[in-house]
Copies of this chain bind each other. A is one copy, B any other.
Amino acid sequence: MKKSLLMLCFFLIGITNAQNIQSPSKNIRVDFNLNADGTPQYAVSYKNKLVVLESKLGIKLKEGGDLVSGLTIDNVKNTSFNESWKPVLGEQSSIQNHYNELTVSLSQKATQRKINIIFRVFDEGVAFRYDFPKQPKLNYFIITDEITQFNLAGNHKTFWIPGDFDSQEYVFNETRLSEIDNDKLNLNNGIALKTIGGKTVVQSPLMMKSDDKIYLNIFEAAVVNYPVMHLNVNTKNFELTSFLVSNAIGDKAYLQAPCVSPWRTIMVSDDARDIVSSKMILNLNEPSKLDDTSWIKPMKYVGIWWEMHVGESTWDYAGSQNASNVLDQSLKPTGKHGATTENTKRYIDFAAKNGFDGVLVEGWNTGWEDWAGNWKEEVFDFVTPYPDFDIKAISEYAKSKNVKMIMHHETSGSVANYERHMDRAFENMVKYGYPAVKSGYVGRIIPRGEFHDGQTMVNHFNYAARRAADYKLMLNSHESSRPTGYSRTYPNYIAAEAARGNEFNAWSTGNPPDHETILPFTRLLGGPMDYTPGIFEIKMNHYDPKKTEQVHTTLAKQLALYVTMYSPLQMAADLPENYEKYPDAFQFIKDVAVDWDESKYLEAEPGDYLTVVRKAKNSGKWFLGAITDENARNSEIKLDFLPKGKKYKAIIYEDAKNAHWQKNPIAYKIKTVEVTSKSAIKLTLAPGGGTAISFEPVK
C-alpha cells in the first residue's frame, strides 16, 4: 500500500501543464497546455511550422457548470499503437493503423468532475476527442455546446459548403476563409430543404490549402450518439469553432458517462495525395462488430431510377406526387409509372446479360402519389407494392437470372414512421430475397423539430445499419448525415449519398466540372458514396429538346469516376438503351471492379485533378481513373505500380481530341496498348474530361 502511494506521488509531481506528442514520422507535433484560467489548449505544427495556433478546448453543459475552465491535470499517459486490419470491403485489403497517443486526465475542483482529452497523432494528421469517465459527479448530462477551436495560421483557400442542418447536397465554393459568406450564395440550386446555421457556418470535412502549399483538412470521425459538427468561421482571424447541430429544443447531445465525443480530426500534409489516401477516419472508428460478414458483398448495379430523373417515367403510379389535392380520390394510372413488373424484368435481363450484380427499383411501393414536401408522417408502409409491381414474380424472376434485387425505402424524412415499420420492412426484404436497401430521407424530419444532422438522426442512421445487420442486409442511405467511418464498425453500411450526387445534373444547375475532384478530399473521407456515375447521354435535350440541363463532364470522365470515386456499391446509372448505343464504352463499366486489394493516388489537387490506380480484389487486373476540372490536362503516368516483368493489355478510354464537357461531351476514343511496369502512358484529358484504363494481364 505504501509503495503504490509513493509511486502515485512521484507520478503527480512529474506532470507539468505543458505536454506534447508527435506523429510516428515526427512531422506532426501537438502541444497541449492549460492556460491561466485552467482552460485546455492545443496547437499543431507540421514540419516545425505552426498550422493550428493555440486553440481552446471544452464542453458546455446544461447543468452543473461548463467543463471549460478551472481544470487541472490529474494524469497524463503516452502510448503508441501500430497494427493492420482487413476491411470487409475497401480500397485496399489491409489498412495500417499507426499512431502515438496522449491522454490528459483533467478534473475540475469546483464540481469534482473529470474529463479526459485524448490525442492521437498519425503521420497524416491529428485526432482528439473528449472522454467522460464513469464518475460520481457526472452521470447523465446534456451538452449545450462544444467550444473546440481550430485557430488556423492563415487565410487559406477553402472548398466549403454552407453549414446546413439538413443537407450537404451543395456545390463547393472555392474561396479564401475571409470570403466565406452564406448570405451571398445563390440558393436556387435544386435543394428543396435548406436549414443553414448562420452566415459563416460551414460543413466539415473542410478542405484547405495554405499559401505555402500545406493541405489541411478538418473533419470528425466516429460520430456515434452525437450530432454532426459544423464549423463557425471567424473570417477576420481564421479561428474556426465547432458548431454542433441542435435538436428540437436547442440541446446538442444527451449523454451518460462513461462516454466519448467523436474524434475531431486535422489532416495535414504538403502532398495532397496524403489526404485523399488517408485511412485515418476509418482507423478512428471501432472495429467491426459483426462476426459473420460473409454476406456483405460489393455490388455493381443498374436500376429504375435515372429514367425518373430525366422525366421518362414517374416514381408514382398515379402521376402527380401530390394527388392528395386532387378532389377525385381515385388514382388513375398515368401509364408513365417506372416500377412496373415488365420494366423491372427488362432491367433484370439487362443486368444478367451484362454481368451486373443488382437491380434497384424506386417507386415500387404505395405512397409516392402524395409524399413530398408536406411534413406528412404516414406516407409509406415499405411493404405494399403498387398494383403494377408484382414483387413475388419479380423476386422469382431475378433469382432465376442470378440477379439481386435492391429494395428502396424512401422515408420522406418521417423517421418515426420508418422506425415503427422497420422490422416489417426488413422482414419483407428477407421474404423476397432482397439483400440490400437504399434508404431515402427527402424532407423535413419527423420527429418534428429534429434535423438530418442532429443526434437523434445520427442515432437513427446508425441504428438502421445495426438493425439491417441483424437481418443480414446491406444499407445505402441517401439524404443521411455524412458518414464518418462507421462502415468500419458496421461494414454492411456499404455506402451513402450525403453529398451532391450525379442526379443534380439531370434537373438543376448541376455539378460543375471540378465537383468530382473535390469530393475525394471531403465527403469521401468518411466513407463510400453512391454517386451514381456512368451517364452516357450527357445532355438532357436528348429526352426533350427544350431541356438545357446536362451532366458537366465528358462521357470518358463518367467512366473514370468508377475508379476515382471509391465505392463498393456502384451504379451504372444510365438507361439500358443508352448503354446499348455505346457498347464499346460500356465495356469499361462492365469490366471495372468495385472492391480492391490496393489503391495508389498518383496525382491529386483538390478542385483541379485526381489520378488513381487500383488493383481489383483477388485479381491481377488494375484500373486507372483520371479526371480533371473545367481545364484540359495532360500528364504522363509511370506504370511502375504494375508488378515487374508482367505484360498487360491496357484498354484506354479517353476523351476524343475535340471533346469538351459542354461543347462535345460524348466524343471519346478507345485504344489498346501493351504495357509493363516500365511503361508510361500519356493522359490527355479534355476540359471537364477524364481517362479510364483497364489493365489486363496478358497470359
Contact = CB atoms under 8 A, between A and B. Distances in A.
Nearest to A445: B447
Interface in A424-475: 424, 447-450, 456, 459, 463
A377 interface: yes
Given A134-B327, A327-B134, A248 B449 contact: yes
A247 B419 contact: no
A327 B329 CA distance: 61
A256 B374 contact: yes
A254 interface: yes
B249 A448 contact: yes
Interface in A84-101: none
Nearest to A463: B420
Contact of A447 (B136, B456, B463): B456
A627 B456 CA distance: 50
B449 A247 contact: yes
Contacts of A447: 248, 416, 447, 450, 456
Interface string A113-152: 0000000000000000000001110011000000000000
A322 to B, nearest CB: 8
Contact of A448 (B139, B248, B327, B419): B248
Contacts of A423: 423-424
A563 to B, nearest CB: 39
A41 B529 CA distance: 59
Contacts of A419: 416, 419-420
A251 interface: yes
A140 B450 CA distance: 20
A136 B449 contact: no
Contacts of A325: 136, 139
Nearest to A139: B325
Contact of A420 (B140, B248, B422): B422
Contacts of A135: 327
Nearest to A459: B377
A135 B456 CA distance: 36
A376 interface: yes
A249 B250 CA distance: 10
A4 to B, nearest CB: 18
A195 to B, nearest CB: 13
A375 interface: yes
Interface string A241-253: 0000001110100
Contacts of A374: 139-140, 256
A334 interface: no
Contact of A140 (B140, B251, B376, B422): B376
A153 to B, nearest CB: 40
A324 B448 contact: no
Contact of A254 (B254, B424, B448): B448
A416 B422 CA distance: 13
Contacts of A329: 134
A447 B566 CA distance: 36
Nearest to A450: B447
* Residue in A256, A448, A459 whose Cβ sees the most chain B Cβ within 10 Å: A448
Contact of A139 (B324, B416, B459, B463): B324
A136 B459 CA distance: 39
A447 B419 CA distance: 13
A454 to B, nearest CB: 10
Given A419-B416, A423-B423, A256 B324 contact: yes
A448 B251 contact: yes
15 contacts: A134-B327, A139-B325, A140-B324, A140-B374, A140-B375, A140-B376, A248-B248, A256-B376, A416-B447, A420-B422, A423-B423, A447-B450, A447-B456, A448-B456, A449-B449
Given A135-B327, A139-B325, A251-B448, 7 more contacts: A139-B324, A139-B374, A249-B448, A256-B376, A416-B447, A419-B419, A447-B456
A-B interface, 4 closest residue pairs, ranked by CB to CB distance from nearest? A447-B447, A248-B248, A140-B374, A249-B449
